[in-house]
Structures are given as structure tokens and as C-alpha cells.
Structure 1
């Protein structure tokens, strides 16, 4: 199942605000969605990496999808991650998130054990056969330890198995090959190629990306929407300048001390700290067992916001 036309624009991977007790903070989540919609985004992606989906219970995952899909009410497309280790578990998630209102699902390759490209293709075919909504592939080798082969993505796109690709691999050459392959293939229609990068969106747009799914867009949706518009209009000098500003802002992901926390704790903690400092969410905590930012580290995040003109 594919889209009538490719998804385009900025589709943030929505953070999941939590209470101090680590439950989903529904009022803060609704304010975050309103903040993103006001920023001009073209869609919402819940239960991705920036949503801390890997740390949420099944009950919490469903609540997130129900909250967001119910709030936007068809105003914007809502994509939901259906991320798990095996095909049957992914299909369970597909049933849950689509029942909760998701209009498309985003699915990684199987993980835990290493898989052959033929097994990856079989996984996506089985998921698509069991999904009532379009399926996008999520290329996330840092988490699943497998780089999605471009030729497999294009083969599945031509079959109508995949409706799009969210590429968070950082491999711009491979990304370009999928963009050009999809564009030139007579049997591929409605296929969306989206970059998951914060720092090379201008380059991805220049080679033909339909849009971007950057976690930092939670913090500055206006900036990424502006960047997408500049790229769409071919104003590459202004797009480069906006991307440079956003790259500076992205420095916040290193606010956490690498000697006591992982990169994910630092990055997701920084995004939430920024949203808290901007008054969007009530509490900047991250899900267990991630290490929280210290008061001094939160101050560092504030410095990045100030430098970017957001405080």
C-alpha cells in the first residue's frame, strides 16, 4: 500500500513528555503537538527514537498514539513506529497503533540477530501484508546493526510493499541512490524519501529528498520548516545559512557529560530540557534507565537556545 503522492515537508519525530513518575504527560504532549503544528510541520511521527519508544511500555505507546491522533483529528498525517525485534512482534504493534489512529507505520529491519537481505525483504513483505496502512522503512543501523540495502528498498517500493523510507543512517551517497532510483523507476509512485538527519537536511533536499524527520524539529520546528521551504524554492545560499544555524543549535546534544551518560541520554535529555526551558513541556525527565542532565548541563542547553535566538 502506497500514498497517492509522496509525503513531503518536515515530519518531526515527536518527543514523549513524561511526568516525574515517568508516566506519559498528556497535557504536555498536547502542548508539544500544538507547538509543532504552529511551527508549520506537515506531519507527525510518534514512537520513533526521539519519542523514546524503546523505553515505553505497550500501554504508554498506545496512549501516545491515541493522544496525538485524537488531537490533530486528520489535520496532519500521523505516522507511528512499530519497532520490535521480530516480524510477529512488529505485527502486534501495527495492530495496536493503527487501532489507536496511526495512518502509516514506520518499521525497522529485524534485530537482535543479524539478518540477511532476503530476510529483511521477507520481513517487510509480511508486515505490509498484515498492515491496513502504508509501511515506511526505517533505516537505523545504529540501533539494529543492519544497513538497509538500497536495492532492497527500491525492489520493495516497486512492488508496492513500501510507501517510503526514513533514512537515519547518515549515508548521503546511499540516500541519493535511493532518491534517484525511485525517481527513475517507472513502477514506483507515491514513494517518500525522508532524511532523519538534523545536520544535512539542505544536502538531502538538494539531491531530491521529499522531506525531513529531524528530532531537533521538536525544539525549533519553524527553523526546519523554513529550511525546507528555502530548499523547495531553490534558494540554496539561504538554505545553507539556515542549516548552519540549526547545526549550531544541534550542538546541545553534547551537553551531557560523556563520562557518565550515553549519547542518547545526552541528546534526548537536551531536547526535553530545551522544550522545558521554552515552556512547552512541564518536566524534562527522560525514561529509565537513561541518566538525566544535571542543572549545569540544562544551563548549557539554555546557552544553545539563546545563541539560536530561541530564548
Structure 2
């Protein structure tokens, strides 16, 4: 990172509350589908800028409400810092104010996340998305210090990213509600898979404009029924139109249409399992599957994934195409 690490403010500092806007008019953070954008790579693992520009255009044409850079689907944990920044710059340039750009701040500790936050603010982010600290065990009181510190230093809307499968900490619903009431958190991206917990958080938070998004691909309709403001699906890179249709149907209360669209997307999500588990992990299979699908759809030039992920072989890439064909996408 080229940005100097800021001085850490007092943990008790209370940030000024950003206006979140009317809950139904869009506000700072609009409801809708916000895909965690894949990071296209060249065969030598540099940023593939033309493919990233095409992907952003493809998503915008589908009617998404925002673009999320450097999330889990964007391989944030694998990317050098300068490549994260270049990806953000490209996405912000393509978005050009049409939709907000969310920057993921996935890293282990508060000082490191602060560096990412200041860089994101400088290079075009409209909002920030941060997990709890990880690697070292973290108490809820320390998680609160983490989010309060971020929000006091960088004056952008901040969303908490609840992904216990990756950081090994489940964000307590009461803590999310407390930080929302203080103006620290403008929203939540819930990738825990805990629909009951999500519903509980939705009931606890009574802050106008607070946005609660689900990160699930396969029961997004249930999360919408439980009060989600939108969907942040990795599979949304491959079929953004399907998730926009699901979201639109759910918002108008057409649950039968939403459920039918969800079932089609659930089957399509099977493409994340094409990789042979005897030779690769599930993450390699999933990210490889998304990228192979986007190559089949003519959006990306290469299916390259970050090291040490194992690439899909020709048969597995063919199996991805079979899933696309069954979903009516090729």
C-alpha cells in the first residue's frame, strides 16, 4: 500500500452519522442486487482490465443496484494490495456514478483494514464492507472497537460482513443493532447462512435506511421474505438478470415467481461443484466455475484463478457449460 497508515483514534470516538436516505427511495445505499464482482486475471495473473470492464458493463446492463469489489468472490484474500486498488479504479470508472461501488476491506487486523479503507476512499469507493478481525481470536467488545475505529477514520458508509465460515466469528445480532443505532454501521452483508439469525437482526435494528443484504445464492427468496433489502450473490456475476428478476418479484410480493426463479438459480449454482474434490478445494471449484461460466458467456477472456487455487480441467469446464445450457444461458 502506498497510503500511510493513519493514527488510530480513541476507541470511544463516536462518528457523525451519515444520512442513510429514505428506506424506500434508495438513499446512500440502495436496495437491490449488488454482485461481488469477480476479478478477471490474465494467464500470468495480472489484472485483465478489458474483461473487468466488460463484466461491469454486463452487470450494469442487467440492472444491478451496485458493484462490490474485493469480496470473497473477487478473491480479495489472494490479491496483492496494488491489484485490489487497480480493480477498484476500473470498476469505479465504469460505474461512473450510475450505481455505488462497494469496496471490501477483508484483512486480519484493524490497522491493516484501515489502510485498505483509506485507499478505497481515495480510489473511488462509495461504501466500505468489512469483516470482523480474524486469525487472532476476537471478543465482541474488540469487534465493536474495530468497526467504531473504521467509521471514525473514513467518512463513508460502512457495512459489516458476517461470514463466520471465513473469519470464524459470528457477528452477534445485538452488536450489529448497537452499532447501527450509533451510526457506525449503515448495513449488513449476511453470508452466515443463518436465516433465523438474519430475521432476528432485522427485527432488532430500527434505523431508517439501514440495509440488510443476504449473501446466499440458494435461499435468497427466503431471506427476502425475512426482510432482506437485497442480495449479494457470487452467482450474480454469471446470471445477474436472474437475481434481478428474483429481487423484483420479491419486492412486489410475487413469491411464487421469486421461488421459481430461485429454483432455477439453485440448480445453476451446481456449477460450483464441478471440480473434483480429490484434487481441489471447494473454493477453487467455485471461483473456477464462475470464471469458466463467464468465459462461456463471452464476458471474460480467461478463467484464470489466483494461486494456490487449482484450475478446472477441460472436462470440468465442459460441465460448467452443461449447467449454463440447462439454465438457458448458452
TM bin, normalised by shorter chain, reads over 0.9
Which consecutive segments of 4 or more residues in structure 1 shift more than 6 A?
Answer: none
Q: CA offset at residue 218 of structure 1?
A: 0.2
| Correspondent of 2:315 among 296, 302, 305 | 296
SS in 2 for 1:193: strand
Q: CA RMSD in A?
A: 0.8
Match runs of 1:149-164 below 5 Å = 149-164=172-187
Unpaired runs of 5+ residues, structure 2, are 1-16, 22-26
1:167 aligns with 2:204: no
Name the residue aligned to 1:57.
Answer: 80
Distance 2:147 2:315 in 1: 44
Distance 2:153 2:51 in 1: 33
Distance 1:190 1:227 in 2: 22
Unpaired runs of 5+ residues, structure 1, are none
Deviations 1:214-270 (A, max 9, x none): 000000000000000000011111111100000000000000011111110000000
Distance 2:158 2:87 in 1: 19
The alignment of Structure 1 onto Structure 2 pairs a total of residues equal to: 307
Name the residue aligned to 1:239.
Answer: 258
SS in 1 for 2:43: coil
Distance 1:34 1:207 in 2: 31
Distance 1:217 1:235 in 2: 20
SS in 1 for 2:129: strand
Give the TM-score of the pair, scaled to structure 1.
Answer: 0.97
1:102 aligns with 2:125: yes
Name the residue aligned to 2:231.
Answer: 212
Distance 1:85 1:149 in 2: 19
Distance 2:41 2:247 in 1: 30
Give the TM-score of the pair, scaled to structure 2.
Answer: 0.92
Name the residue aligned to 1:198.
Answer: 217
Q: CA offset at residue 7 of structure 1?
A: 2.5
Q: CA offset at residue 181 of structure 1?
A: 1.5
1:73 aligns with 2:96: yes
| Correspondent of 2:105 among 79, 82, 106 | 82
1:180 aligns with 2:203: yes
Distance 2:108 2:153 in 1: 17
| Correspondent of 2:163 among 131, 140, 148 | 140
